[in-house]
Amino acid sequence: MSRAWTDDEAEDFEHAINAAIGAELRRERDARGITRGVLSERLPSRIGDRALLSIENGKVIIKLLRLVEVANEIGADPADLLRRGLQRAHITMANMTLDVDLHDLADRSKDGPMQFRSLRQWALNALNENRDGVMAVETAGVRNLALYLGCPQRALADYLRGFTPSPGTKSRNSSRG
């Protein structure tokens, strides 16, 4: 059984989540060449560009409705934004699916830490079924890969977070292991 968070711990965690989501929103907006000013004019809620700046900097809590509104307007999937923001910030959730750029993993793992080098062949094989080059690896998939590699699940999840896809790519397939 886990212990309850203190108010300070909860506040720190909430701030980290807001900062991660805001940074991912900014990444996606920038990748699409949309300025904050243009985006704020397009939003049905008409929130100002200063409010968007505060969201992107993690200074204010973004409500779910606002996250969906902004994501839809920039052409991004809200679930991908949330998941990738948390993934890039190394915020671990118990059942978090990790998006993995298979091309990047296949390329960089050949020279990476020895314990993870066999992931190169896994990534190359996975590219046969994931033509877009992105795979959503569920918790069970990470656990099974870690068992195969003989490493802790957390260590593998941390390693895979280094292969978070670039903004604008979508995960289509999922690996349960």
Question: In this predicted model, what pLDDT tens digit does every residue of 143-154 receive, in sequence order?
Answer: 899 999 999 988
**Whether the predicted pLDDT of 72 surpasses 90:** yes
- This prediction has a pTM of 0.62
Mean pLDDT of the 71-84 span: 89
Look at residue 21 and tell me whether its pLDDT is greater than 70: yes
Read off the pLDDT of residues 112-144 as tens digits, 9 standing for 90 and up: 888 899 999 999 999 998 888 999 898 889 889
CB 97 within 8 A of CB 139: yes
CA pair distance 6, 63, nearest whole angstrom:
23
Superfamily of domain 7-88: lambda repressor-like DNA-binding domains (1.10.260.40)
Domain boundaries in the chain? 7-88, 98-175
Listed in sequence order, the residues at least 6 apart from 77 whose beta carbon sits closer than 8 Å to its beta carbon are: 71, 170
| Residue ranges of E strands in 18-144 | 98-101, 134-137
Helix, strand, coil: what percent of the chain each, to 5?
Answer: 60, 5, 35
Residue 16 has pLDDT above 90, yes or no: no
